[in-house]
Amino acid sequence: MFEIVKSGGWLMLPIILCSIVALAIIGERLWSLQRKRIIPKHLVAQIWQMQSKGQINGDQIMTVRNSSPLGRVLAAGLSNVNNSREVMKESIEETGRHVVHELERYMNSLGTIAAITPLLGLLGTVIGMIKVFSVITTQGVGNPTVLAGGISEALITTAAGLSVAIPSLMAHRYFRGLIDSLVVFMEQEAIKMVEVIHGDRPSETPVKAAASKPSAS
């Protein structure tokens, strides 16, 4: 393996570095974007139960805020529970923008890696072919060993660049779709909470959802 990397030339170094960074980002995002960490089940129902019992206070709001990204969004609305529906929605939308920004952390870096690694491979190909034609110009085609070395460098860098770019692009698209689905669900939960608190949605819905939650053994 080392000989293959070595024969690929100095451009293998940035390609390998990109692969390490991409692997680290993918691992971190797989951990951070777990659905149970972003949107805990029955959080709106629990908030409604606390609200109906008059248990919503600063400490409870802080607990909800620190529980998850969805909790941060809902806590922004709870902080303005005594204000109008429009004020609650504005505070939720403002916090939601910050939460979405955090969910999209490292996505630009992963997309950049997916875009530049094929270019690095192509650059290696060009450099390898330049070496081949330089040898042909000076020595003719009578030295196949030198010619094979330049062609080998060109092919190895191209293969390495594509090997990093393809999984990086797949992971980038997957995380984009996952983030979009999480954001849509958070929006639905936030609207549900606002409607329940302001009486636009029957209160039985979240209460029944909480009651149907399986008890911990």
Q: Give the residue-averaged pLDDT of 81-89.
A: 78
69 domain-assigned: yes
Domain count, the chain: 1
Per-residue confidence (pLDDT) for residue 140, from 0 to 100: 66
Q: How far apart are CA 167 and CA 184, in angstroms?
A: 26
58 domain-assigned: yes
- Which range marks the domain in which residue 141 is found? 10-203
- CB 74, CB 193: distance < 8 Å: yes
- Neighbouring residues of 165: CB distance < 8 A, sequence distance ≥ 6: 113, 114, 115, 117, 118, 121
Judged against a pLDDT cut of 80, whether residue 93 lies above it is answered with: yes
Per-residue confidence (pLDDT) for residue 213, from 0 to 100: 45
Judged against a pLDDT cut of 90, whether residue 107 lies above it is answered with: yes
4 domain-assigned: no
73 domain-assigned: yes
208 domain-assigned: no
160 domain-assigned: yes
Name the band, by pLDDT with cuts 50, 70 and 90, for residue 200. low
pTM value is: 0.78
Q: How many helices (H) and strands (E) does the chain have?
A: 10, 0
